[in-house]
Every structure is written in structure tokens, then in C-alpha cells.
Amino acid sequence: MKLLTCPMNGTRPLSEFIFGGEYREAPNQDTCTDVEWAAYVHNRSGAPGDKKEWWYHSPSGTWFIAERNTLTDKVSRTYLLGANSDNSDTAQEISK
Amino acid sequence: MPLRLLKFALSKGHPAPRFFRALETPKKSYDVVIIGGGGHGLAAAYYLAKDHGITNVAVLEKGYIGGGNTGRNTTIVRSNYLTPEGVNFYDASVKIYEGLSEELDLNLFYSTRGHYTLAHTESAMRTMRWRAEVNKHVGVESRVVGPDEIAKACPQLDLSCSGQAPILGALFHAPGSVARHDGVAWGYARGADRLGAEIYQNTEVLGIDVKNGKVCGVKTNKGYIETKQVLCAVAGFTPRITEMVDLETPIVIHPLQACVTEPMKPWLNSIFVSGSLHVYLSQSSRGELVMGSSLDPYEVHSTRSTLDFVEGLTSHMLDMFPFLSNVKVVRQWAGMADMTPDFAPIMGKTPIEGFYIDAGWGTWGFKATPISGKTMAQTIANDSAPDLIHSFRLSRFEDYELTGEKGAASVGH
Ligand SMILES: Cc1cc2nc3c(=O)[nH]c(=O)nc-3n(C[C@H](O)[C@H](O)[C@H](O)COP(=O)(O)OP(=O)(O)OC[C@H]3O[C@@H](n4cnc5c(N)ncnc54)[C@H](O)[C@@H]3O)c2cc1C
């Protein structure tokens, strides 16, 4: 069984989680052009590599960030948004 | 034919006939370079030569032809989509498929079975009625049927689905078919090769040269090739190629898995899909049950297959067909599906002059192989996309003119 570590609830089966897509910064909607906004809404960086992603632990309702390589499917760390990803107190290192 | 067979039986070596020339090193330049030797790329090469007389063409395939999603799909061909644009497009493909074995002089085992999309809820019934009306309007044979007719077509089906999800009805689509997928790749490869196109296996595109917004060549593991026109037909590898030319698209890659059972005596004629149970199946001409399910739930660029998938799929399969409990699954595999947000493909021109895209085929592109080859050949020959694929253009996203096919493509591929 594949496992993922929720920063609030610890390591749980992957079936308890929902993938929320890549973490992305929205452009400023007051200043960006229509074309820039459409690109933000629809386009994705689809090529494989290390990505920062939204994941959701559904039994507890926790949204958090996972850093994952989309080619190897290895998760390097998970943390709550805002928690400094370099601070190992809040960032759960996963050594698998 | 029997004479040829007799001669072959009496010959000493029994050499396997080659389908296309075994070429090693590409030339310095071509009029058109096609990236990807799947069904789509090979069909485009065939129609470029046949319909437009363009034969100075190279198809570059990093592995072997048909080794991508073309050889991994569950071979369902149908046109019972949801939007008139989609129904028209896939119907044109079904019509080519019906005569394709003759045209390519190769038995593609194209077998028309009838296709049932089962509805277990009132809201699913509503979508079936909607699809039936759109299909009829466009002239495609689809209608809503009740449980009695389903039971007659397939007495082995448990209409109550173990009491979990009773079947209320189905969308029946008579032209629904299955075919031999690798045969489609080989047939188009042989046709294209005979007309003069060149096919290079083990030839990987590593970069694309763009100057002043125009394509001028491709870098490969076998050297540099000059060309002004490149067709990108690489399905699950699309984001890696579009990244080479800095082109953004909505495509994301999710694995899609399938499996087959040991061969059984023929008992299942039609193709059955259940959206609510997330499974579908058909019986191949070899007797195996070919079974699949919906997309893996998150992005991975890999063809790994999982136990979760077979467990989930088989448990729902037993809800529908309890008597299969003793039948063994013998193979499972995955392909990389290039998904779009509206479940419609991305075809045609791009902002880069000479860079054409045929992608976003996700879980549904096998059935489109003939028509996408034909329309992409037309697009390249005329440097302009035909009306039939206008709704699938890349710029539809910027125009907020999506072509919503999710209701017809999310489980039944
Ligand atoms: C499990 C599964 C079930 C499916 N079921 C169905 C179904 O029932 N009905 C249906 O209509 N569709 C189905 N599909 C979808 C269908 O298989 C695909 O959409 C279709 O086959 C895509 O064909 P293609 O020729 O575009 O791509 P592919 O066949 O994937 O060919 C692309 C080729 O490009 C090559 N390539 C990639 N990068 C490079 C490079 N840099 N240089 C050179 N070559 C490169 C690859 O090696 C590959 O051979 C299914 C898919 C899967 C995975």
C-alpha cells in the first residue's frame, strides 16, 4: 500500500488523500491581461520533475503541500502552507 | 490469397515479411518531420502521402512503432459523444475504420459489437438521453434502452449489481467496435512506407530548433535534421516536447491502467461500460476479457501498474458478473494519458510557425487515429486546419471556448 504523510495526522494510506494539483501563484487580477489570466486558469506545467503540490487529507479536512517528483512518484517532504519548508519541526521529512 | 499461402508453405525459410524498410540513419533534411510513431503519427504520414502527395517525410519514433498508448489501449471505437463537434469528428473516424482493413490490405480484426453505457442513477439516465438526442441529431445510431433489452443482450449481467447499484437503463450505440490496435499502427506504417515516407525506430527527438518564431530543424540522437514543418504526435510525452519550444498547454499526464483475463469461450458480444462502477469490459477475438477503469487519481509520468487498480476493478466487475469469480487476471499494464480539462483533444496549428500539435488524446484517442491522421495531414499540407477540428484548436482555452466532453469520455474511453 502506498503511504503519504499528513503534517497533522502522520503517515496514512494514500487512499485517504485527494490530489489537489500543482501549487501555483495567481497573477494579480487587477493588472494582468486577459490572455495572462486565461493562461493561469487553463495551462499547467505538464513536464515531469520536482513539483510543489496541494494534497488533501479527507478524513481530517487538512489541506497541505507535498513536494513530489512526478517522474519517480517519490515524495520528499510535506508541510502546511506557510510553515517554512526548511524548518524540520513543521516539515515532515519522508525517507522512503 | 490461398496461392500465396501455398507458396509460403512450400518455401524453405518461411521469412516473416517486413512491414516497412529497416532504415538506420535519417537524411539531412525533410519537408515534414513527424515526432512519434504511434497510430496518429503513422496515419498522418500515410495521408500526407496518399491525399497530398507529400512523401519527403520522416516519422521519428524513440522506441518501436505502436509501443506507446497505441499498443496499450482497450481498442474501443465509438462515436456516441456529447457535443455535436465531437460526435461529427468521431463518426468520421468510425466510417474510415469500417473500410480500413480493405484499404490497408491488413486484417485489423475490426469487429462491430454494440456498446452499452449503463446508467445506475436518474442523473446518469439524463446524460444518456442527452447523448442519444445529440447523436440522433447528427445522424449517429444511439438510443436509450431499458433493463429488459439489456438482459436480452447479456443474460450474464446481474442487473442489480449485487444489489449495490441497480441498472436503470443504458445508452446503446450500435456502431461501437473493437479492433486490433497494433495492427492499426503496422497497417498505417506499411501504407506510408510504400508511398515513400521513411520510418525510423530508436530515434529520439531531443530538441527543436526555432528561429524568429519558425521551426527550422530537430535535434535527434542520430544527428540534426533540417525541416520547416514538425508534427508533435507523442500523446503521453507531449509536455516534454512542448517544453522544447516553450509552448504552454493545459495538458497533464495521468496513468491509465488496463488488464486482461485468461482466454474464455466467447460469451460476451457487446462492450459494457458502467460510469458509476468505474469499469468497462469487452471480449477480444482471442477470448480474453479486456477490462479497464477510470484514470489514476494523480499526475505520474510512468507506466507502472498497481494492485489497487486490479483490486478495485475486479471487485466492481464481480458486482456486474458474479460468475467471473474463478477467472484469472493474467496481465496488467498502464499507459500515460495526456489529459485536457474538457476531455477533448488539442489539434492543429500553434503560435510557432511550422509546429503542429496532435495531442490531448488522453483516454480516448485510439478511435480517432484515422480521422486525426487525415485532418492533421490536411492541416500540414495547407498550413490551415479544416473546420472539422476547429473546436479542438489550442487557442480555444484562451478564447474560453472549451468543448466539454467529460460526460462522454471519463470512464468509457
Ligand atoms: C490503458 C489505456 C486504455 C485506452 N483505451 C482506449 C479505448 O478503449 N479507446 C480509445 O479510443 N482510446 C483509448 N486509449 C487512448 C489511446 O490509446 C491514445 O489516445 C492513442 O493511442 C494515442 O495515440 P498516439 O499515436 O497519439 O500516441 P502513442 O501511441 O502513445 O504514440 C506516441 C509515440 O511517440 C513516441 N515518442 C515520445 N517522445 C518521443 C521523442 N522525443 N522522440 C521520438 N518519439 C517519441 C513514443 O515512444 C510513442 O510510441 C487508452 C489509453 C490507455 C493508456
Alpha helices in chain A (DSSP H): 34-42
Half-sphere exposure of A19 (CA within 13 A, CB side): 17
Which pTM was predicted?
0.95
C-beta atoms of A19 and B248 within 8 A: no
Provide the ipTM.
Answer: 0.89
Nearest in space to B178 (alpha carbons), one of B86, B304, B317, B273: B273
- CATH superfamily, domain at A3-90: Folate-binding superfamily (3.30.2270.10)
CB of B141 closer than 8 Å to CB of B135? yes
Contacts of A78 (CB under 8 A, 6+ apart): A4, A5, A6, A7, A55, A64, A65, A66, A67, A91, A92, A94
Mutate which of B363, B375, B410 for ligand 1 pocket (most atoms within 8 A of beta carbon): B363
Q: For residues B206-232, b (16+ Cβ closer than 10 Å) or e, as one string?
A: eebbbeeeebebbebeeeebebebbbb
pLDDT over 90 percentage in chain B: 93
Q: Is the pLDDT of residue B295 over 50?
A: yes
At B122 the three-state DSSP class reads: helix
Average pLDDT, chain B: 96
Does residue A92 have a pLDDT over 60? no
Beta carbons of B251 and A42 less than 8 Å apart: no
> Quick one: pLDDT at residue A83?
82
Residue of A73, A74, A78 best to disrupt the B interface, most CBs of B under 10 A: A73
Residues carrying CATH 3.50.50.60, chain B: 17-73+181-250+342-408
Q: What is the 3-class SS of B45-104, one letter each residue?
A: HHHHHHHHCCCCEEEECCCCCCCCHHHCCCCEECCCCCCHHHHHHHHHHHHHHHCHHHHH
pLDDT in tens, B257-266: 999 999 999 9
Q: What percent of chain B has pLDDT over 70?
A: 100
For residue B353, what is the DSSP state?
Answer: B
Residue A85 banded pLDDT, cuts 50, 70, 90: low
Distance from the Cα of A90 to chain B's closest Cα (Å) equals 25
Q: How far apart, in whole angstroms, are the C-alpha atoms of residue A15 and residue A88?
A: 26
Query: What residue spans in chain B does CATH classification 3.30.9.10 cover?
Result: 113-178+252-339
pLDDT at residue B9 greater than cutoff 90: no
How far is residue B142's CA from residue B176's CA, in Å, rounded to a whole number?
A: 10
Phi, psi angles (nearest 5°) of residue B297: -80, -5
Give yes or no for a contact between B381 and B255, defined as CB atoms under 8 angstroms apart.
Answer: no
Higher pLDDT, B408 or B20: B20
The CATH code for residues B113-178+252-339 is: 3.30.9.10
* Neighbouring-strand partners of residue B214: B211, B353
Nearest 5°: the CA angle A22, A23, A24 is 105
Q: Does A33 touch chain B (CB under 8 A)?
A: no
Query: Three-state secondary structure along B246-286?
Result: CCCECCEEEEEEEEEECCCCCCCCCEEEECCCCEEEEECCC
- Whether residues B250 and A73 touch (CB distance < 8 A) is answered with no
CA atoms within 13 A on the CB side of A63: 8
Q: pLDDT tens digits for B68-126?
A: 999 999 999 999 999 999 999 999 999 999 999 999 999 999 999 999 999 999 999 99
Q: pLDDT class for A86, splitting at 50, 70, 90?
A: low
Round to whole Å and give the CA distance between B356 and B347.
8
Confidence of residue A93 (pLDDT cuts 50, 70, 90): very low
Residue nearest to atom 32 of ligand 1 (CA): B234
Which of B298, B338, B341 has its CB closest to that of A42? B341
Query: What is the average pLDDT across B205-222?
Result: 98
- Given the CA of residue B204, which atom of ligand 1 is nearest to it? 42
Instruction: Quickly list DSSP for B138-196.
Output: HT--EEEE-HHHHHHH-TTS-TTTTTTS---EEEEETT-EE--HHHHHHHHHHHHHHTT
Q: Which three cell numbers stand for residue B3?
A: 496461392
Q: At B25, is the pLDDT very low, low, confident or very high (cuts 50, 70, 90)?
A: very high
Q: State how far residue A54 is from chain B, nearest Cα, in angstroms.
A: 11
d(C-alpha B179, C-alpha B98), whole Å: 10
CA–CA separation, A8 vs A57, rounded Å?
Answer: 9
Q: With 80 as the cut, is the pLDDT of residue B340 above it?
A: yes
Distance CA A84, CA B413 (A): 43
- Between 3.50.50.60, 3.40.50.1360, 2.40.30.10, 3.40.630.30, what CATH number should domain B17-73+181-250+342-408 receive? 3.50.50.60
Q: Which of A15, A42, A46 sits opposite B397 (nearest CB)?
A: A42
Task: Tell me the pLDDT tens digit for each residue of A41-55.
Answer: 999 999 999 999 999
Interface contact A43-B252, CB threshold 8 A: no
Q: What is the pLDDT of residues B229-244, one digit of tens each?
A: 999 999 999 999 999 9
Ligand 1 binding pocket (C-beta < 6 A) is B 35-41, 60-63, 67-70, 72-76, 204-205, 233-237, 256-258, 292, 335, 337, 361, 363-367, 413
Cell numbers at residue B134, please? 445529440
CA B189, distance to chain mean position in Å, is 16
pLDDT in the model for residue B3 = 86
Is residue B43 within 8 A of residue B188, CB to CB? The reply is: yes
Torsion-angle region of residue B410: left (phi > 0), alpha (psi -120 to 50) or beta? alpha
User: Which residue of A35, A47, A73 is in closest CB contact with B239?
Assistant: A47
Write the pLDDT tens digit of every residue in A2-57. 899 999 999 999 999 999 999 999 999 999 999 999 999 999 999 999 999 999 99
Residues 71-90 of chain A whose Cβ lies under 8 A from any Cβ of chain B: 71-73
pLDDT band for A94, please (50, 70, 90 cuts).
very low
Instruction: Please tell me the distance from the alpha carbon of residue B83 to that of residue B407, in angstroms, as a whole number.
Output: 10
B379 within 8 A of B385, measured Cβ to Cβ: yes
